C-alpha cells in the first residue's frame, strides 16, 4: 500500500458532532422519536432541507462501530427557532441502533451525529402554489411529515395529500402529529390512512398498499394530473408499486422523488460480464480523501468501500445498502459497476458519481475521489 499527498484545495467533508438528546418519545410499541439539542454554534452546519436524514454513530460494548441513517421529521424552522432536530426510529429485527434507541437511549445522553444529507426534497418557495402528494408506508412517513409541514408552513397557497399505509391503527407513527397538522391546515392537508390488517369503513382504504390499491386510490380520490410533485417513501416493494401506478397514469419521472427504507427484497445486480473472469487478478484502487490519496489493491468482486476502510477507516459511510448516499464519491479514473443504487439521481450518475459501498472495479485501475 502506498500513500501520496495531493496539493490542492480540499472540500470539507461532513464530520461527526456530539449532540445531546433532549427527549425520547414513544410513538408506537416499536418506534420512538428522538429530539437532539443543536447548540447555536452548530445550527448553521446542521441546517437542512425537509426530507433529509441524519447519520448517527455509537460504539457497542464489543467495540464495533455502528452507523445508521434516520430521517428528520421536524422542520427547518424548528431548528432555526428552537435549536431542535427530531428523527423517527423504528425497531428492526436485530437492529443494533434501533434496539438501543428504544430500550437504552435517554434524555441527557450524547450521540455522534453527522450533518444532514439526502436528496429526498424540493425547493420550497413562498410564491409557489403547488399540490404535493406523498405515498408512504410504515416509517416512510418520517421525512414526509417534515416535507408536508414545511410545504404548508412555507407556501400558503400550496396543498398536500398524504396516502399512508400501515398494518393497524396502533402501528401508525406520528398519528398525533399528523392529526395536529390536519387541524392547523384543514383546507390544505388531506391524509388518507390505508390499513392492511384492520377493516375500515371504506373498502378502498382497507388492505395492502400495493400497485392495484394505489392505482384505485389515484383513480378515485387523487387524480394524478392534479399533483405537481410526488414523494414516495417506504419499503422497496411499495415504492416500486407506486412508481408503476404513477407511470401508467403518465406521471413524468422528473416529478417523482423516492426514498427507500428497506431493500432486503431487492436482489443485487449480478456482476457485469465485462468484469475480469479471473477474480485472482486484483485491481489497483486509489482513494482521494481530505487531499490525500491512498492506493491499494483489491479483488474485482469486492466492494470498494469495504476494501478502502481497511486503509482509511475515516471514510464516510452509513447504511452500506445503497440507500443513504453517505459514501458517495466520483470515479475520476477507470470504471466500476454498482450492485444496486437507490440514492443517486440520473444527473449524478452521468457525472461519474457512485455509491462506493456498492461499487466493484471492472478495470485494472480505478481512482475514486471523495473530495469533489
Task: Name the residue ranges covered by the structural domains of the chain.
Answer: 17-113, 131-262, 269-369
| Residue 79: burial class (beta carbons within 10 Å; 0-12, 13-18, 19+) | buried
pLDDT in tens, 108-130: 999 999 999 999 999 999 999 99
Q: How far is CA 78 from CA 73, 82, 146, 232, 309, in A?
A: 11, 5, 11, 24, 36
CA atoms within 13 A on the CB side of 216: 13
Q: Taking 60 as the threshold, does the pLDDT of residue 8 lie above it?
A: no
Of the candidate ranges 8-22, 73-87, 148-162, 305-319, the one whose mean pLDDT is the lowest: 8-22
Whole-angstrom distance, CA of residue 361 vs CA of residue 335: 6
142 touches 134 (CB < 8 A) = no
Stated pTM of the model? 0.86
- Output the average pLDDT for the chain: 91
| Residue 83: burial class (beta carbons within 10 Å; 0-12, 13-18, 19+) | middle
Distance of CA 20 to the CA centre of its chain: 22
Q: Taking 90 as the threshold, does the pLDDT of residue 286 lie above it?
A: yes
Q: How far is CA 119 from CA 49, 184, 290, in A?
A: 9, 27, 23
Residue closest to 193 by CA, chosen among 219, 169, 229, 210: 169
Residue closest to 181 by CA, chosen among 173, 171, 194, 191: 191
Q: Taking 80 as the threshold, does the pLDDT of residue 1 lie above it?
A: no
Strand order in the sheet with 2-5: 2-5, 292-299, 282-289, 365-369, 328-333, 353-355
Give the number of other CB atoms < 10 A from CB of residue 199: 10
Output the CATH code of domain 17-113: 2.40.30.10
Thinking of the domain 131-262, which architecture would CATH place it in?
3-Layer(aba) Sandwich (3.40)
Find where cell 421529521 sits. Answer: 73
Thinking of the domain 269-369, which architecture would CATH place it in?
Roll (3.10)
Q: For residue 299, give every residue at least 6 positions away whose Cβ sits within 8 Å of its Cβ, in sequence order, or none.
A: 279, 280, 282, 283, 307
Q: Taking 90 as the threshold, does the pLDDT of residue 265 lie above it?
A: no
pLDDT interval class at 272 (50, 70, 90): very low
pLDDT interval class at 355 (50, 70, 90): very high
Cα-atom radius of gyration of the chain, to the nearest Å?
22
Q: Taking 80 as the threshold, does the pLDDT of residue 194 lie above it?
A: yes
Helix ranges (H only) for 64-210 are 76-82, 96-103, 141-154, 175-184
DSSP letter at 56 equals E
pLDDT interval class at 280 (50, 70, 90): low
Q: Taking 90 as the threshold, does the pLDDT of residue 49 lie above it?
A: yes
Average pLDDT estimate for 289-293: 90
233 touches 163 (CB < 8 A) = no
Find where cell 388531506 sits. Answer: 190
Amino acid at each position: 500500500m502506498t500513500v501520496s499527498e495531493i496539493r490542492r484545495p480540499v472540500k470539507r467533508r461532513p464530520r461527526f458532532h456530539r449532540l445531546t438528546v433532549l427527549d425520547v418519545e414513544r410513538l408506537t410499541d416499536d418506534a420512538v422519536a428522538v429530539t437532539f439539542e443543536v447548540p447555536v454554534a452548530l445550527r448553521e452546519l446542521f441546517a437542512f432541507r425537509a426530507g433529509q436524514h441524519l447519520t448517527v454513530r455509537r460504539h457497542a460494548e464489543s467495540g464495533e462501530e455502528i452507523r445508521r441513517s434516520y430521517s428528520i421529521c421536524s422542520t427547518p424552522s424548528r431548528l432555526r427557532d428552537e435549536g431542535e432536530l427530531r428523527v423517527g426510529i423504528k425497531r428492526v429485527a436485530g437492529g443494533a441502533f434501533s434496539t438501543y434507541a428504544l430500550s437504552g437511549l435517554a434524555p441527557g445522553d450524547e450521540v455522534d451525529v453527522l450533518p444532514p444529507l439526502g436528496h429526498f426534497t424540493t425547493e420550497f418557495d413562498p410564491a409557489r402554489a403547488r399540490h404535493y402528494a406523498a405515498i408512504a408506508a410504515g416509517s416512510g412517513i418520517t421525512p414526509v411529515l417534515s416535507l408536508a409541514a414545511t410545504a404548508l408552513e412555507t407556501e400558503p397557497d400550496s396543498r398536500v395529500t398524504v396516502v399512508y399505509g400501515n398494518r393497524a391503527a396502533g402501528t401508525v407513527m406520528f398519528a398525533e402529529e399528523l392529526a395536529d397538522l390536519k387541524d392547523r391546515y384543514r383546507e390544505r392537508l388531506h391524509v388518507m390512512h390505508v390499513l392492511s390488517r384492520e377493516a375500515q369503513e371504506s373498502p378502498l382504504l382497507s388492505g395492502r398498499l400495493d400497485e392495484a390499491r394505489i392505482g384505485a386510490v389515484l383513480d378515485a380520490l387523487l387524480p394524478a394530473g392534479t399533483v405537481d410533485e410526488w414523494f414516495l417513501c417506504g419499503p422497496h416493494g411499495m415504492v416500486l408499486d407506486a412508481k408503476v401506478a404513477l407511470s401508467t397514469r403518465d406521471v413524468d419521472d422528473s416529478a417523482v422523488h423516492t426514498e427507500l427504507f428497506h431493500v432486503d427484497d431487492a436482489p443485487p445486480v449480478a456482476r457485469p460480464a465485462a468484469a475480469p473472469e479471473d477474480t485472482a487478478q486484483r485491481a489497483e484502487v486509489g482513494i482521494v480523501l481530505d487531499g490525500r490519496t491512498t492506493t491499494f489493491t483489491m479483488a474485482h468482486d469486492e466492494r470498494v468501500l469495504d476494501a478502502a476502510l481497511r486503509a482509511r477507516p475515516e471514510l464516510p459511510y452509513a447504511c452500506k445498502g445503497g440507500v443513504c448516499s453517505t459514501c458517495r464519491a466520483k470515479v475520476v479514473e477507470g470504471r466500476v459497476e454498482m450492485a444496486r443504487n437507490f440514492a443517486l439521481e440520473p444527473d449524478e450518475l452521468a457525472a461519474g458519481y457512485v455509491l462506493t459501498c456498492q461499487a466493484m472495479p471492472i478495470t485494472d485501475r480505478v481512482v475514486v475521489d471523495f473530495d469533489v
